[in-house]
Amino acid sequence: MGTRRVNDGATAIDTGRLAAFLARAAGATRVRVETFEPLAGGAIQDNRRLAAEIEGGPSAGRLDAVVRMDAPSRVAVSHDRASEFALLRRMFAAGVRVPEPLWLCADAAVLGRSFFIMRRVEGEALGHRLVKTAAEHGFGDALAAELGEELAKIHAVPFAAPELSFLAAPSRAPGLDRVMTYRDFLDDLPDPAPAVEWGLAWLERHAQPQGPLALCHRDFRTGNYLVADGRLAAVLDWEFAGIGDPDEDLGWFLAKCWRFGQVAREAGGIGSRDAFLAAYERRAGRTVDRTRLGYWETMAHVRWAVIALQQADRHASGAEESLELALTAHVVPELEWEILERTREGA
């Protein structure tokens, strides 16, 4: 188990400890860590590419994996690694396309923070690149349909399982529940956000009565799934999953703010709204109410504005110095404009 020190900014990571953990977890006689390096993307979690050679045990052979660990400063509402690992296992078992979860390590002595390891899935996730390739190769509508179907599969996963007991069901109508949550988030920020509050007041007045609840991914959008050869390869980033109104996921996916410049392709900047919704409806066996959907698209802009303000504050407060976080403050005006456009009321 060759020990190599990888420079990790403030702390040096001892890959020898990682190799020892892997050997224990995989029941191996020997593990050689070959690559352990940062993976681009993810303002919230810290993802590393891991390549290792495993000798002995049931997992013997080459390991091509991703290590997902908590970032230095964490958004309090995102699940910890243990919960996200449990979710991934549940989804993988249910046949949802996700990276195969392998091992969880809660011992901070190994990498300084808790983490889990999942098998690496080949594919493109970057939104800007994906919307371009989808347009050039003409697979946008087919991909949108695959995504609609996959989301229906997610919503059909029973959430009452004991290993998912950390998921809390909303105590009031899901729209109102979200409004209260986002107000709490805003209260933790130093500056008032009047345009966002305007949107929240509108969302409170127009809240829909509660329908059937489902396990929601809550970050199902372009940028959070992998595509290989024009096909959906895996749905990523389960850290915000929860129990809520399934239309919330549909609205988040369709919202204008997640189209990466391809505004006319309403399904995530890749395909048509109809292709996405028709496939969802077919698989879910229910008709989606378009008016309710508009409500959740407005919610999506409000939510992204709240998250963007939180991310900007992580930099501004000194918790985590980052140009990417700092610049997130400047996506807010565009969201505010959209929120106001969507909430004109006899004005």
User: Given the rule CB under 8 A, which residues bind other proteins?
Assistant: 40, 183, 186, 191-195, 197-198, 200-201, 204-205, 323-324, 326-327, 329-334, 336-337, 340, 344-347
Q: Return the structure tokens found at 135.
A: 């347009």
For other proteins, the closer of residues 3 and 35 by Cβ is 35
CB of 111 to other proteins, least distance (A): 23
CB of 5 to other proteins, least distance (A): 22
For other proteins, the closer of residues 103 and 198 by Cβ is 198
CB of 197 to other proteins, least distance (A): 4
Q: Which amino acid is at 83?
A: S
Report yes or no: 87 and 238 within 8 Å, Cβ to Cβ: yes
- Dist CA 232 CA 82 (whole Å): 26
Helices (H), the chain: 15-26, 81-93, 108-111, 127-137, 140-155, 174-187, 194-205, 246-254, 273-284, 290-316, 323-328, 332-342
For other proteins, the closer of residues 142 and 331 by Cβ is 331
Element (H, E) at 5: strand 5-8
For other proteins, the closer of residues 74 and 256 by Cβ is 256
For other proteins, the closer of residues 56 and 333 by Cβ is 333
Tell me the β-bridge partners of 104.
Answer: 116
For other proteins, the closer of residues 163 and 184 by Cβ is 184
CB of 294 to other proteins, least distance (A): 17
CA distances from 217 to 4, 83, 153, 208, 227 (A): 37, 13, 11, 20, 18
Report yes or no: 211 and 245 within 8 Å, Cβ to Cβ: yes
**Dihedral pair phi/psi, residue 149, rounded to 5°:** -65, -40
CB of 153 to other proteins, least distance (A): 32
- Dist CA 144 CA 267 (whole Å): 6
The sign of the CA dihedral 170, 173, 179, 183 is negative
For other proteins, the closer of residues 274 and 334 by Cβ is 334
CB of 49 to other proteins, least distance (A): 13
For other proteins, the closer of residues 139 and 182 by Cβ is 182
* Alpha-carbon Rg for the chain in angstroms: 21
- Dist CA 26 CA 153 (whole Å): 30
CB of 166 to other proteins, least distance (A): 29
CB of 96 to other proteins, least distance (A): 30
Name which of 17, 67, 24 is nearest 45 in CA terms: 67
For other proteins, the closer of residues 109 and 323 by Cβ is 323
DSSP 164: G
Report yes or no: 216 and 244 within 8 Å, Cβ to Cβ: yes
- Dist CA 220 CA 230 (whole Å): 18
DSSP conformation letters of 170-182:
PSS-HHHHHHHHH
CB of 241 to other proteins, least distance (A): 28
